[in-house]
Every structure is written in structure tokens, then in C-alpha cells.
Amino acid sequence: MKRKLDHWKTQAIEPGRPACTFLIPADLEVFLRKRRDDHRWVISYLEFLIGQALRYRAEGRLPEVPRVTRRYQADDPTIQRWHVRVPGELWTELRCLAGSCGVTMCNMFVILIRLDQQDQVRVPKNVGASSCVFGYRIVFLQSVCMDEGITRRSVVFEVSSDPPKCNWAHQT
């Protein structure tokens, strides 16, 4: 049986800065406030964390959840809501990264914060240049093998040593 292939492309630019709510466990809130202040804004910190993702993957520190559905955060009565307006392109990068790991976006943000917290404890701070690798573009692919019933996910990072130009200055 020959299958008909349909292809389509869409472009999304709205909303430019969607409102989102990150669910932060109370035990991370003090650390997140400090890192937010270090980076000036939550958005800048999120951009830094996404920039670290390639290194985290190379070190085997990002999750690889072998489920068809995405893993949510564990239930936690101490969860704090952080409301942020994230630029659309950064939101999409987080979505791609989370999807490739098999977790929700909120869970991915918390995972990245915990990895950064571990780095702050084990790595002495350098006053010099950052070792951050910035994503220029992240591509997320997901497919299903109909014969085997297996969902496959992959992510491709195009990287640059220079941060992308930001058009969201002065955001919280």
C-alpha cells in the first residue's frame, strides 16, 4: 500500500512574548532568585540555561524519557508560580529541548536549574569568559515507526560561540 505524503509549513510569530507560568519547587526558589539577579532577568537566565543544554547532553546529564507522553514534574505542595513573558523564539527553543528529552517545558526549566545548581557547587567560579555555548537554532524531530510502534525523538543544535542578538531587553 502506498501512502500519500502531505507536507506543510507554517510560520508562527504571535504572540511575540507569550505569558507563561513556571512551577518552581520551593527548595529551588532562593537559588533561582539569586541566578535571576546574576543574569538580571529570568529570561536572560533561561537563555543561559538553554545555552548550557548542549554541554549537559554531552555529559549525559539531560533526561531521556522513553515514554510516548511527556513526563510532568512530581506533585509538590510547595510549588511556587513564576509568571514570565518569554520571547517566542526562546519559548520555542525550550519546547524543542523539552520535547527531545520527553519532558514538559516546565519540568525542563526545573531540570536545567537543578543542573546549574550542581555546577555552582562543584565548579569554582571563573571571573573570565563564560563557557556557555549558545544555540543558534534548535531543531526537534519526532517520528513514529508504524511497524514497531516506537516513537523516536531527536534534537539538533546549531551552535555559536556568540550569543544571539536579543530584542527583549528590559524584560523581567
Grid cell in block for residue 14: 504571535
Going by C-alpha positions, the residue among 159, 166, 165 that lies closest to residue 57 is 159
Q: In whole angstroms, what is the distance from residue 86 CA to residue 172 CA?
A: 9
pLDDT at residue 159 above 90?
A: no
SS3 for 24? strand
Q: Considering the entire predicted model, what is its pTM?
A: 0.76
Residue 77: its pLDDT value, please? 83
Q: What's the whole-number mean pLDDT along residues 142-146?
A: 76
Question: How many residues appear in the chain?
Answer: 172
Residue 168: its pLDDT value, please? 44
SS3 for 153? strand
Query: For the chain, which residues make up each domain, given as ranges?
Result: 19-123
Grid cell in block for residue 104: 514538559
Q: What spatial distance separates the first Cα and last Cα of the chain, rounded to whole Å?
A: 54
pLDDT at residue 132 above 60?
A: no
Residue 112: its pLDDT value, please? 97
CB atoms within 10 A of CB 98: 23
- Read off the pLDDT of residues 38-52 as tens digits, 9 standing for 90 and up: 999 999 999 999 989
Going by C-alpha positions, the residue among 159, 168, 128 that lies closest to residue 54 is 159
Burial 103-113 (b: 16+ CB within 10 A, else e): bbbbbbbbbbb
139 vs 57: which has the higher pLDDT: 57
Going by C-alpha positions, the residue among 87, 134, 136, 83 that lies closest to residue 106 is 83
- Read off the pLDDT of residues 95-125 as tens digits, 9 standing for 90 and up: 888 988 889 999 999 999 999 999 998 865 5
- Read off the pLDDT of residues 6-58 as tens digits, 9 standing for 90 and up: 776 777 778 888 888 999 999 999 999 999 999 999 999 999 999 898 889 88
**Dihedral sign computed on CA atoms, order 33, 39, 43, 46:** negative
Q: In whole angstroms, what is the distance from residue 126 CA to residue 124 CA?
A: 6
